[in-house]
Amino acid sequence: DADVTQTPRNRITKTGKRIMLECSQTKGHDRMYWYRQDPGLGLRLIYYSFDVKDINKGEISDGYSVSRQAQAKFSLSLESAIPNQTALYFCATSAGEGEQYFGPGTRLTVT
Amino acid sequence: GESVGLHLPTLSVQEGDNSIINCAYSNSASDYFIWYKQESGKGPQFIIDIRSNMDKRQGQRVTVLLNKTVKHLSLQIAATQPGDSAVYFCAENSGGSNYKLTFGKGTLLTVNP
């Protein structure tokens, strides 16, 4: 089984809808991250969490919120989706110093 | 502002050749660097990392070189194979102990058989 899983893998939604992307990890890491990937822009950090009680904004947090339900779970919500939030979303985890482990991604399309 | 960038957005090589992917960074305080490989439809996968107290680090068929004087990072892939075709990202930790990574925009490596 994959160490970092994301659901759903693909989602099409309409403008104004609320949507939640979920991430689970079995690596036992304290740190979890949400990134957005757009063509030509690389990966940009949306939110990150260093433990269950710690939530921090990244460089592009506007229009997003997160919830750290447990050490293993970190959810990303779009309260009112808009077309320019169409992108590939990745969750990642890390133990602290060093590499981040990425999930397979969620492809989100907002029409 | 500080950023991580790549010299070449695309690189095409013949199978068996060596590949070199370059990355420029501008934050002199960055102390840790990673190279990731991303295949189509998948998440980024760790290749190799290097800390700022090192100039070179070798893995299996890959070598990362760090030149702090000119703020340059490179990934060398020996005997490139078709399975190496992917987008390669460099990332730097400019967040100190927070270990927040800033990613470059990526280089697409295509290996021709």
- Chain A, chain B: beta-carbon pairs less than 8 Å apart: 48
- The rounded distance, in Å, linking the Cα atoms of B85 and A68 is 35
Burial of B62 (0-12, 13-18, 19+ CB in 10 A): middle
Chain A residues touching residue B5 (CB < 8 angstroms): none
pLDDT for position A18: 96
Chain B nearest CA to A84, separation (Å): 19
Residue A97: band (very low, low, confident or very high) from pLDDT cuts 50, 70, 90: confident
Residue that is written with structure tokens 């990303």 in the block:
A76
Task: Please determine, for residue B5, whether its predicted confidence score (pLDDT) is greater than 70.
Answer: no
Distances (CA, A) of B19 to A20, B11, B25, B66, B78: 40, 8, 20, 16, 7
pLDDT for position B96: 72
> Which of B35, B57, B92, B99 would best serve as a mutation to test chain A binding (most A beta carbons within 10 A)?
B99
Residue among A96, A56, A48 nearest A74 (CA): A48
Listed in sequence order, the residues at least 6 apart from B94 whose beta carbon sits closer than 8 Å to its beta carbon are B2, B27, B29, B30, B100, B102
Q: Which residue of B has its CA nearest to A39?
A: B105
| Degrees to nearest 5, angle at CA B29 with B26 and B31 | 105
A102/B43 CB distance under 8 A: yes
Residue B19: band (very low, low, confident or very high) from pLDDT cuts 50, 70, 90: very high
pLDDT for position B1: 33
% of chain B surpassing 90 pLDDT:
70
Query: B34 and chain A: CB distance < 8 Å anywhere?
Result: yes
Backbone φ, ψ for residue B71 (5° rounding): 50, 60
Chain B nearest CA to A30, separation (Å): 12
Residue that is written with structure tokens 């433990």 in the block:
A51
Residue among A54, A10, A60 nearest A35 (CA): A60
Show contacts of A40-45: CB within 8 Å, 24+ apart. Answer: A40/B105, A41/B105, A42/B89, A42/B103, A42/B104, A42/B105, A42/B106, A43/A90, A43/B44, A43/B89, A43/B91, A43/B103, A44/B103, A45/B100, A45/B101
Window 67-106 of B, Cβ < 8 Å to A? 89, 91, 97-101, 103-106
Mean per-residue pLDDT for B58-65? 96
Tokens of B102: 């800033």
pLDDT for position B3: 46
pLDDT for position B2: 36
pLDDT for position B78: 97
Tell me the torsion sign for CA atoms B26, B29, B34, B37. negative
A100/B45 CB distance under 8 A: no
Listed in sequence order, the residues at least 6 apart from B93 whose beta carbon sits closer than 8 Å to its beta carbon are B30, B31, B32, B33, B99, B100, B101, B102
Chain B residues touching residue A96 (CB < 8 angstroms): 99
| Degrees to nearest 5, angle at CA A77 with A75 and A81 | 155
Chain A nearest CA to B99, separation (Å): 6
Query: A97 and chain B: CB distance < 8 Å anywhere?
Result: yes
Judged by phi (left if over 0) then psi (alpha if -120 to 50, else beta), residue A27 lies in alpha
Amino acid letter, A42: G
B85-107, pLDDT tens digit by residue?
Answer: 999 999 998 777 667 888 988 99
